[in-house]
Amino acid sequence: MISEWVLYIVFFLLAAVFTAFLGYCLYIHHLHQKYDHIPGPPRDSFLLGHSSSLTKAVYSDNNLIHDLFLHWAEKYGPVYRINTLHYVTIMVYCPEATKTIMMSPKYIKDPFVYKQLFNLFGKRFLGNGLITAVDHDMWYRQRRIMDPAFSSTYLRSLISTFDEMSERLMDKLEEMANNKTPAVMHDLVNCVTLDVICKVAFGVDLNLLNQKDSPFQNAVELCLKGMILDVRDPFFRLFPKNWKLIQQVREATELLRKTGEKWIQNRKTAVKNGEDVPKDILTQILKSAEEENVNNTQDLEQMLDNFVTFFIAGQETTANQLSFAIMALGRNPEIYKRAKAEVDEVLGTKREISNEDLGKLTYLSQVLKETLRLYPTAPGTNRWLHEDIVINGIKVPRGCSVMFSSYVSQRLEKFFKDPLKFDPERFDVNAPKPYYCYYPFSLGPRTCLGQVFAQMEAKLVLAKLLQRFEFSLVPGQSFDIKDNGTLRPKSGVICNIKQCS
Ligand code: HEM
């Protein structure tokens, strides 16, 4: 009697699973019918769509996933479709559609992508911070409060801090030049940008250039690595061989948030004691939590979301841009010579660089812009399509994600002639302005808040480097790009350096 009941239950359970699976397959079939008029590569399988090709690209040592997107854009045109299970992404490289969607606040960030960054392998990570807040009102309240810490007047007042941090790098390079030690430029500029963000944003001096293996620096790197694995490979956490790395990423996330907690507490105490505190990013973070007027625990979590956000958004991106710029200059002696000549003319032997000096370094700005064209260190963004739209004559029904890859757009021949050539002339004042096909800092309301901050910092470091040292790339190293959440040079950019006479 009992075994008969067990049999019935098992039968009904199996029937329920089968019906659910059938329903899911029918739903996927419906999505295929809805979007298959949009061109795209053939699916690897009915159920998983293009997942297999995408996963292969994520784990490939030689190719970037963005190169696969570029190859597909060249083959299938400026609007194409990618399927992963029941999730449809439309890749778009039409300037008009880029303008319509990115410039409008009505197209919110894709919740499916950005909510995944709320936690990292189960630990709260970017939460509802500025990058990941999807709800427009919640995002806008934070952005409005944060803006003063990025106003040009405030940023101009930071020049001496940027200068002081860059001088530490110059001291380190001088030491290495004297010892004839090759410099791994990526590691060095990484320390500088981390020192800058800690000092400028949070009033803390870590002095990483003079420390070895800082746990804090490793934590930022681990979080970035974990971020792409968690977002791009939904099956990563299922394999026991990955559990050790997952645990390390979880600990790294915790370290960042614990550090944030400590620094926030210190600042609160300073304010309470009536100390004079800077109007920096940390002050604005405290203010934003106050205005949200939520209870204490939520309050702290919200502040920590933005604390982590500024590390993730503001540090590696700038360090990677600097190392790509050094790599590009090392590979293009004529451009190097011209940039150095400009620096020598504007700065001479001057040690302390002013805002006016930076303004005069126009060719160096072009070099930095061209660096981000060929090597956009944060290479894309997604929006959610909540209403039907026609792109390039193709109807795109609502209910899917739209992805904009600056890496692809900025390497398409139709927008940038001879796209693999590093050519700062593309950004000469008299050259035609790129029309919604160049967006290394994203576009529209969700554009990068730290763009001016980052370019000030990058220009100052690069100017000092060109003024004081001659550098050449150590032969035999790779010029490939590594995808670690942000794009960075695989080799680390190893240089022989010599002090300028
Ligand atoms: C070369 C350096 C940088 C590049 C290439 C870059 C690029 C970007 C991109 C593409 C986005 C949009 C991300 C998305 O839509 O998912 C973004 C957003 C953001 N970035 Fe940057 N970034 C850089 C440096 C910085 C710095 C130095 C800071 C802060 C100190 C910063 C703070 C932010 C913030 C807060 C956002 C979110 C803005 C919002 O949604 O309101 N970034 N950045």
- Look up the CATH number of the domain holding residue 306: 1.10.630.10
User: Residue 199: inside a domain, yes or no?
Assistant: yes
Closest ligand 1 atom to residue 131 Cα is 37
**What does the pLDDT read at residue 423?**
98
Question: Is the sign of the CA dihedral 279, 280, 286, 292 positive or negative?
Answer: positive
pLDDT string in tens for the chain (501-residue length): 667 888 889 899 999 999 999 999 999 999 999 999 999 999 999 999 999 999 888 888 778 999 999 999 999 999 999 999 999 999 999 999 999 999 999 999 999 989 888 999 989 999 999 999 999 988 998 888 888 888 888 899 889 999 999 999 999 999 999 999 999 999 999 999 999 998 988 888 888 888 777 788 888 889 988 988 888 777 888 889 999 999 999 999 999 999 999 998 898 898 889 888 887 888 888 877 776 655 566 678 888 998 899 888 888 899 999 999 999 999 999 999 999 999 999 999 999 999 999 999 999 999 999 999 999 999 999 999 999 999 999 999 999 999 999 999 999 999 999 999 999 999 999 999 999 999 999 999 999 999 999 999 999 999 999 999 999 999 999 999 998 888 999 999 999 999 997
pTM: 0.93
CA of 474 to the centre of ligand 1 (A): 31
Assigned token pair, 26: 């029918």
CA of 412 to the centre of ligand 1 (A): 23
Cα–Cα–Cα angle for 176, 180, 185, nearest 5°?
50
CA of 480 to the centre of ligand 1 (A): 23
Question: Is the sign of the CA dihedral 116, 117, 118, 124 positive or negative?
Answer: positive
**What does the pLDDT read at residue 468?**
96
User: Residue 31: inside a domain, yes or no?
Assistant: no
Q: Are 133 and 139 a contacting pair, CB within 8 Å?
A: yes
Closest ligand 1 atom to residue 439 Cα is 10
Q: Domain total for the chain?
A: 1
CA of 392 to the centre of ligand 1 (A): 29
User: Residue 5: inside a domain, yes or no?
Assistant: no
Ligand 1 proximal residues by C-beta, below 6 Å: 130-131, 143, 309-310, 313-314, 317-318, 321, 372, 377-378, 381, 440-442, 446, 448-450, 453-454
Question: Is the sign of the CA dihedral 114, 115, 118, 122 positive or negative?
Answer: negative
Burial of 6 per CB tally in 10 Å (0-12, 13-18, 19+): exposed
Q: Are 399 and 479 a contacting pair, CB within 8 Å?
A: no
The domain in which residue 260 lies consists of 37-499
CA of 15 to the centre of ligand 1 (A): 49
User: Residue 277: inside a domain, yes or no?
Assistant: yes
User: Residue 174: inside a domain, yes or no?
Assistant: yes
**CA-CA distance, 250 to 121, in Å (whole number)?**
7
| Residue nearest ligand 1's atom 18 by CA | 448
448 labelled as ligand-binding? yes
Pocket test for ligand 1, best of 381, 448, 456 (most atoms within 8 A of CB): 448
DSSP label at residue 240: G
